[in-house]
Structure 1
Amino acid sequence: MKREIIIGEHRIGPEHPPFIIAEMSGNHNQSLERALAIVEAAANAGVHALKLQTYTADTMTLDIAEGEFFIEDSNNLWQGNSLYKLYQEAYTPWEWHKSIFDRCRELGLVAFSTPFDESAVDFLEELDVPAYKIASFENTDIPLIRKVASTGKPVIISTGMASVAELDETVQAAREAGCHNLVLLKCTSTYPSTPENTNLRTIPHLQQLFDCQVGLSDHTMGTGVAVASVALGATVIEKHFTLSRADGGVDSAFSMEPREMCTLVKETEQAWQALGIVSYGPTETEQPSLKHRRSLYIIKDMKAGDVLSKENVRAIRPGAGLLPKHMDILLGKKITRDVKRGTPLTWELV
């Protein structure tokens, strides 16, 4: 597996803390001022990147409000809208992109986007984005993937709903078109998702299948799933982000608030730190604790020639005496000199 990918000034890989992406999506609620406030909140929360989505309603679908163009599923967060109306509400005006990206750079954030058609890729190339993201619903759009991959920039692809065969076709198309830095994101395309439907064990399997880095696009609530993903090898974590869920918006219901995002950044880094290496025996920092292990001590005053027994020898803390495993050998032996209660038992005393 390629060990390291560079996006902006960030190195991404198993040897580095997870790369955290805050997805703004439509949480700006059609206010550039709010969008810029989201950027600042993301930077303050400690994320590494902020991501937009680049489309218009017309590049996504047709202005039809019936049949398959209308969302009637009662379990769908956006039920009662036409696709066209939903995308009109959620899209980020293209004329905002430069202002948002500039503010990201000022605050030290990597700024990039998800294009949904080839015209969006051309537009984002004009803004010189450092990477691209492909959404789950577009991971079978092979022409779009080839277009993005041909830029030669790192490509992050969400795997939601895709079969192994579809992913194989996607990854092959990306690599053949020029993508040498690929990250797949395990993703469940429900909004919100549940931990039970997340299947994080897929992460190491994806790594093995496609010999690339794998992360998580997480639509669950809270931080637990993201933290667990790091333990399974996730190097990138993407979460939707808003100033406040109470403010509403198309994605607000499953988006993190600033305090939650700050917690996620810290806890995923701690999870990564905790992975460490395969290690046995005392670490350097554990060395001082060795003296507090159990060991064999004389627990009664004894005279030279007295016999060691369970009445005068016990395994207790601290650890200055012989190891408890020697108890059976020592019982019945005579001591060589007078000793006081609290003396550690050593070979020299028997």
Structure 2
Amino acid sequence: MHHLNYSDIKAAADRITGSVRPVTVAPVDAGAVPVTSRSTLGEGQEQGCDFWLAMEFMQHTGSFKARGAQNFIQSHREAGTLPDAGVTIASGGNAGLACAWAAQQQGVRATVFLPANAPGVKVAKLRSYGADVRLIGSEYAEALAACETFAADSGALTSHAYDHPLIAAGAGTLLEEILPQIPDLDTVVVAVGGGGLLAGVATAAGHHGIRTVAVEPEFCRALNAALEAGRPVDVSLNSVAADSLGARRTSHMALYAAQQDGVHSVIVPDTEIIRARRMLWDHRRLVVEHGAATALAALTSPDLHREDSSARAVGQSYGYRPADGEKICVVLCGANTDPSDLVHDGPDRA
């Protein structure tokens, strides 16, 4: 079982710099996005924390996944292990887009498997990156099985959405780009789906002595449940962010990263995810997917101390309360979303 280490992140950064867009980091205006701090100064006066947004949704293909896909393909190319049949993946989401894009960049074939009911806009986007799109069955499991058969028959290299060290190490390069822009960073906040972003970022952050906050929707918490159980377990998925964060089970690699000192797992309710996404639109005219807003929701959720113990398993923590003066960067990881629910009928529409 591979555990990521910092040398994996460093190698990925050296490999993909110049092939991906450097992340832009923007400070949040004081008071623009209300954050509840853990402590107060003087007579109830809050100093608050300093926080920044890492605008990774501006990455190629609209999400951080481009980093891992680029690292995966370039690494195999360097090692001479990239087959003539190219790469294949079963994903209509951000991972599939990233794989198709990186393959096109590297001049290799990409064969992407999707259920037949996949949205036409995703199929068109994949084809725009030169991918051979195969529509199979009505469920993801059927597309995945077809992808595995294709890989076995053709010799194509199978890429994974998150559970691969090269994919996760690519994601970790984000932290290496954020640090020079916020040299005294205390904490980085990331959303968690399968855990590739978390594994990469937490590994890099741990090396630099930076805290990582891993955020999941309350009813889409594969990592949180794995930490509780001490091993990856299946969870049910019921969240507005499940389209991008909906992994039924986290990876061993992500669990290992999350078990290290300085990594905190928290959950947030869907109502707060929706509110955080709206807040980004209202304050910055930023349109992000619900998965990206999940990270911000950890800071903006009001205290959720629940008396109903049945609704809250032992060890579950709602949101993250920074200390006064804490320097925090929230990673906005993707923006492959339909913005119409933000822009029509908004409160400021003339």
Q: Same fold (TM over 0.5)?
A: no
> TM-score, structure 1 length as denominator?
0.30
Q: Which has the higher contact order (CA 8 A, sep 6+)?
A: 2
> TM-score, structure 2 length as denominator?
0.30
Indicate the structure (1 or 2) with the bigger Cα radius of gyration: 1
